[in-house]
Amino acid sequence: MEKILEVKDLELSFHTFAGEVKAIRGVNFDLIKGETLAIVGESGSGKSVTTKSIMRLLPEHSSEFKNGHILFNGKDLTKLTDKEMQKIRGKDISMIFQDPMTSLNPTMTIGKQIMEPILKHRNVSKSVAHKEAVDLLRLVGMPKPEARMKQYPHQFSGGQRQRIVIAIALACNPQILIADEPTTALDVTIQAQILELMKDLQKKINTSIIFITHDLGVVANVADRVAVMYGGKIVEIGTVDEIFYNPQHPYTWGLLSSMPSLDTADEKLYAIPGTPPDLLSPPKGDAFALRSDYALKIDLEETPPFFKVSDTHYAATWLLHPDAPQVDPPLAIMERMKKYPGSRYYEGTEGGTY
C-alpha cells in the first residue's frame, strides 16, 4: 500500500472577467502504487481540473493554487518551478487526452512525436529512441510499426491515434498515468479495445492510473477505487464495489440511478433534476443539497465532513451522522445494496463481513 501521490486540501481558482471561479474546493485523495483510481462526476465537477492541476497544465495567468499540496514522491508539485515540472511531465507523470483526433500534432510524423519524450527525458541516441518508438507502437498493437513511423496523424483512424497517444504517454514508463476521458470520443467497440489495452499495459509496466470519466460502465470495468466529484469536491470515495453496491451519498445514488441498467424494469431513465452549482459563488453547506431529494436542513447550513463507512470508504453527507434520520435510498439503489454483504440491506447469507 505504498502511496505514490497525495493530494491534500487542494483548492484552485480561475480568475475570469466575471470573478473568481472556485473550481476545486478542497480535494483530498491518495493514489496507491499500481492501482487504478477512477474519478467520476458530471461536467464541471472539477475532474479534469484536478488532474490538470497535478500536471500543472492549466493556464498559469488565469489559474491559482489557493491552498493545499500535491505530494509526489515527497515533492510538492504546486511549488516546483516550470523547469523542474518539465522534467516530471512525460517522464514520471504522463497523460492521455480525450480527443485523439486533435491531440496529435498534424504536421509532425508520429515517429517524431513518440520519440520526443524519449529523447527529452532519457539520455539515448536517436537510433535507440527510434527503435524504442517502434517497440512502443508494437506494444500498443499497431500493425507494421516500422512503416507507420513516417506517417502523419491524418493517416490513422481515431482508435489508432489513441493507441499512438498511449504509446507517447508510456514512452518513459511513467509512475502515474492520467487518462482524461480516453474513450469518450471513440465508438463502443474501439472503446472496449482501448480499455483492454490500458488494463494490459498497466499489468506490464505496473503504473498507477487516474482514470477520469463520466461513463460508469467504464469505471466498473477498469477501476480499483472510485472517487465521486461534485461541485469541486470529492463527495464519496471507496473501492469500486463499495461505490457501486453500497453508495452513501445522495449524489452517488443519483449518478447510479441515471445509468441505464438491464436489471431494472423501469421504463423511464432517471435524471438528476436541476443544474450543477455555480462555482462563482458556491452554495453554502452541501453543494448537492438543492438538487437532492434527501437534503436535511443542516445540508443548507454546514458543509458535511467525511464520515467513515469502512476503512476504504468515506462519504461526505450528513445522512451518515449518528443523529441523522434513517433514510432509504431509491429503490434501484436498494436493490444493489441487497447484494452487498457490508450494507444494511444485505439479504444474502454470506455473513455480514466483507
Partner 1 sequence: MTKYIIRRIVYMFITLFLIASATFFLMKALPGSPISSASKLPPSQLAVVEAKYGLDQPVPVQYAKYMLNLAKGDLGNSFQFKNASVTDLIMNRLGPSVLIGSQGLILGVAIGILLGMIAALRQNTIWDYGSTLIAIIGISIPSFVFATLLQYWLGVKWGLLPVALWKDGWMSSILPSIALAMGPLATASRFIRTEMIEVISSDYITLAKSKGASGFEIAFKHAFRNALIPLITVLGPLAAGLLTGSLVIEQIFAIPGIGEQFVKAIVSNDFSIIMGTTIFYSVFLIVIIFVVDVLYGIVDPRIRLSGGSK
Query: Which of 11, 116, 224, 335 forms a contact with partner 1 (CB under 8 A)?
Result: 116
Would you count residue 157 as binding partner 1 (CB under 8 A)?
A: no
Neighbours of 21 (CB within 10 A): 20
In whole angstroms, the minimum distance from the beta carbon of 159 to partner 1 comes to 17
- For partner 1, the closer of residues 90 and 250 by Cβ is 90
The count of chain residues that interact with partner 1, using the rule CB under 8 A, is 31
CA distance 338 to 190: 34
In whole angstroms, the minimum distance from the beta carbon of 100 to partner 1 comes to 9
Query: Which of 3, 9, 76, 105 forms a contact with partner 1 (CB under 8 A)?
Result: 105
Query: Which of 22, 25, 47, 121 forms a contact with partner 1 (CB under 8 A)?
Result: 121
- For partner 1, the closer of residues 95 and 289 by Cβ is 95
Would you count residue 88 as binding partner 1 (CB under 8 A)?
A: yes
Would you count residue 238 as binding partner 1 (CB under 8 A)?
A: no
Query: Which of 11, 99, 224, 335 forms a contact with partner 1 (CB under 8 A)?
Result: 99
In whole angstroms, the minimum distance from the beta carbon of 252 to partner 1 comes to 30
- For partner 1, the closer of residues 130 and 313 by Cβ is 130
The answer to whether the beta carbons of residues 49 and 74 sit under 8 Å apart is no
CA distance 246 to 241: 7
Would you count residue 160 as binding partner 1 (CB under 8 A)?
A: no
The answer to whether the beta carbons of residues 100 and 162 sit under 8 Å apart is yes
Residue 19 DSSP SS3: strand
The answer to whether the beta carbons of residues 310 and 238 sit under 8 Å apart is yes
In whole angstroms, the minimum distance from the beta carbon of 80 to partner 1 comes to 12
Q: What are phi and psi of 233, to 5 degrees?
A: -135, 155
Would you count residue 102 as binding partner 1 (CB under 8 A)?
A: yes
In whole angstroms, the minimum distance from the beta carbon of 183 to partner 1 comes to 16
In single-letter form, the type of residue at position 233 comes to K
E strand residue ranges, the chain: 3-16, 19-32, 36-40, 63-72, 75-76, 93-96, 176-180, 208-213, 225-230, 233-239, 307-308, 314-315
Helix then strand then coil, % of the chain, to nearest 5? 35, 20, 45
Residue 286 DSSP SS3: coil
Would you count residue 165 as binding partner 1 (CB under 8 A)?
A: yes
Q: Say which residue the cell 517497440 belongs to.
A: 135
Would you count residue 107 as binding partner 1 (CB under 8 A)?
A: yes
Would you count residue 120 as binding partner 1 (CB under 8 A)?
A: yes
Q: Could you say which residues in the range 58-77 bind partner 1, by CB under 8 A?
A: 61
Of 12, 29, 54, the residue nearest 224 (C-alpha) = 29
- For partner 1, the closer of residues 176 and 234 by Cβ is 176
Query: Which of 21, 23, 27, 55 forms a contact with partner 1 (CB under 8 A)?
Result: 55
- Does an H or E element contain 121, and which? helix 110-121
The answer to whether the beta carbons of residues 176 and 31 sit under 8 Å apart is yes
- For partner 1, the closer of residues 28 and 173 by Cβ is 173
Would you count residue 211 as binding partner 1 (CB under 8 A)?
A: no
The answer to whether the beta carbons of residues 37 and 28 sit under 8 Å apart is no
> In the complex, which residues of this chain contact partner 1 (CB under 8 A)?
55, 57, 61, 82-83, 86-91, 94-95, 97, 99, 102-108, 116-117, 120-121, 152, 154, 165, 168-169
